[in-house]
């Protein structure tokens, strides 16, 4: 007897794997939330006159700041490039430039005060009559906007349901229902993995990860559905029981699904490898939704579809649907 990979018996194992990750994610989310990159901390801002007193000395000002931080043993988390200060009404440049360093919240206030004094004195020594203003601000985390979050979740849910209605008409309701389960599973599992791995994410990118998970999940399940539809048309499949049919189809569609996964993985890896740090932090974690969708379309999906196919076959048998004389003869052969 051939051992099948996709069996109803294995379904609880596959679901258990997902459940463990999901529960771990929920627990970590409840305890710590996502690792939001909320840009909270102490901001060391240097505003200087870049037109007259420190004209052409922008790089030197930054060098002085960074050398001072190094000598005091304090390291900044993020540096915002020097940008012009602007007039509030016209948004025209005032001639001043501001360079900003963001330090961790626990950075010593005394150390920052020392840095402020040191930078001021060095700049005053190097640039005669330099017009410099240094301020250290304690900035809180960006406040959370709730509306984009719930509207985003509703949008993805509505869109997924609508497109799965289309899939229902085109590929059958069993496959549509499986697709819906997989999409929800993939989105939740992606968010769980982000909570578990503590990868820093901005709020907006979190929504994008969820959307990417839905897109990849649907795309891969569509590939499976197409292959199933194509293969199940074959009269030889009509005589097979659901388990045989799904396993045969799973073997045949594996290559196509892997090709799509490989193409997407290549894209995320190349963009992640070549791009700058900020964009890398967005594109490389996209491998999470890809891995989750790969797991669900190659492993979980067909196993989940199996009971539905059995029900479908049973219902078709009950109805005693007329399949046509020629098809029936072919199937008998």
Partner 1 sequence: MGKVKSAIVLTLITIVIAVLCVVCFVPFPCDGNGLNYFNSILGIAEKDADLGGYLIGETEYVGGGYSAVLYPEGVISGRDYENDLAAAAEDEKEEFEADYQAYADGAIYLEKETVLDGENVSESFKEDFSRAVSVLEERLERLHLPGASVRVVNDYTVGVFLPASYYVAGAAFDHLGRMGELTVSFGSDEASAETIIPAQRGTEQPASYYIKKISSRTASGVSYVILDMTDEGREAIAEATEGATSSYIYFNIGGEPLITLSVSEQIDQSSLYISGSYDEDSSLLVATVLDTALSSGTEQDLTFSVGEISEERAGYGSNALTMLYIALGVLLAGSAVFFFVRYGRLGFAHLYTLLVYLIAMTLCIWSIDFLTLGVGSVLAVLFGAVALSVSEAAAYEYVRKEFAAGKTMTFAVKSGYKKCFWHIFDAHIVLAALGFITYFIALTELSVFAFTLGIGMFFSGLCALAVGRFLWYIMMPFAKDKAKFCRFKREEVEEDD
Residues 19-38 that bind partner 1 (CB under 8 A): none
What would the two tokens of residue 179 be? 């697709």
Cα–Cα distance for residue pair 296/300, rounded to 1 Å: 4
Pattern 64-103, binding to partner 1, x per CB under 8 A?
----------------xx-xxxxxxxxx-x----x-----
Distance CA 276, CA 177 (A): 40
Measured from the CB of residue 63, what is the shortest distance to partner 1 in angstroms? Answer: 18
DSSP assigned state of 124: H
Q: What's the rounded Cα separation, in Å, for the pair 204 and 147?
A: 12
Nearest approach in angstroms of CB 303 to partner 1 is 22
The CA-CA-CA angle for residues 127, 132, 135, to 5°, reads 145
Pick 106 or 147: Cβ nearer partner 1: 147
Nearer to partner 1, 115 or 193 (CB): 115
- Residue 248: CB partners within 8 Å, gap ≥ 6? 231, 237, 240
56 binding partner 1? (CB under 8 A): no
- What character string, x for contact with partner 1 (CB under 8 A) and - otherwise, covers 203-222? -xx-xx--xx-xx--xx--x
Binders of partner 1 among residues 139 to 168 (CB under 8 A) are 139-143, 145-148, 151-152, 154-156, 158-160, 162-163, 166-167
Cβ nearer to partner 1, comparing 174 with 242? 174
Q: Per CB under 8 A, which of residues 267..296 are in contact with partner 1?
A: 267, 270-271, 273-279, 282-283, 286
Q: What are the CA-CA distances from residue 72 to residues 75, 108, 113, 299 (Å)?
A: 9, 11, 11, 55
Site string for partner 1, 216-255 (x = CB under 8 A): --xx--xx--x-----------------------------
Binders of partner 1 among 102-141, rule CB under 8 A? 109, 113, 133, 135-141
* 235, 331 contact by CB (below 8 A): yes
Report the alpha-carbon distance of residue 261 to residue 258 in Å, rounded: 5
Q: Which of 305, 272, 159 is nearest to 218 (CA)?
A: 159
Total of chain residues touching partner 1, rule CB under 8 A: 78
Q: How far is the CB of 70 from partner 1 (least distance, A)?
A: 21
């Amino acid at each position: 007897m051939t051992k099948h990979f996709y069996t109803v018996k294995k379904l609880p194992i596959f679901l258990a794997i997902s459940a463990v990750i999901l529960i771990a994610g929920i627990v970590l989310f409840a305890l710590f939330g996502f690792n939001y990159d909320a840009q909270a901390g102490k901001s060391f801002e240097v505003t200087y006159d870049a037109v007259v007193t420190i004209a052409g000395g922008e790089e030197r000002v930054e060098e002085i700041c960074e050398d001072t931080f190094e000598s005091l043993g304090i390291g900044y988390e993020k540096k915002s490039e020097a940008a012009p200060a602007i007039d509030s009404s016209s948004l025209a440049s005032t001639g001043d430039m501001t360079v900003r360093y963001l330090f961790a919240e626990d950075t010593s206030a005394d150390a920052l005060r020392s840095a402020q004094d040191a930078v001021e004195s060095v700049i005053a020594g190097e640039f005669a009559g330099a017009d410099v203003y240094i301020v250290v601000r304690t900035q809180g985390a960006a406040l959370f906007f709730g509306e984009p979050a719930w509207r985003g979740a509703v949008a993805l849910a509505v869109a997924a349901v609508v497109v799965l209605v289309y899939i229902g008409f085109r590929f059958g309701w069993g496959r549509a229902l499986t697709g819906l389960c997989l999409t929800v599973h993939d989105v939740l599992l992606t968010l769980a993995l982000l909570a578990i791995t503590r990868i820093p994410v901005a709020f907006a990118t979190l929504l994008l990860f969820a959307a990417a998970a839905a897109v990849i999940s649907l795309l891969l399940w569509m590939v499976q559905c197409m292959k199933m539809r194509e293969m199940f048309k074959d009269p030889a499949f009509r005589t097979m029981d659901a388990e045989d049919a799904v396993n045969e189809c799973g073997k045949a569609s594996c290559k196509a699904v892997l090709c799509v996964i490989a193409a997407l993985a290549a894209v995320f890896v190349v963009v992640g490898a070549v791009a700058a740090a900020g964009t890398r932090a967005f594109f490389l974690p996209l491998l999470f939704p890809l891995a989750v969708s790969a797991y669900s379309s190659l492993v979980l999906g067909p196993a989940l579809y199996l009971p539905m196919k059995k029900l479908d076959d049973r219902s078709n048998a009950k109805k005693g649907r007329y399949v046509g004389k020629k098809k029936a003869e072919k199937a008998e052969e």
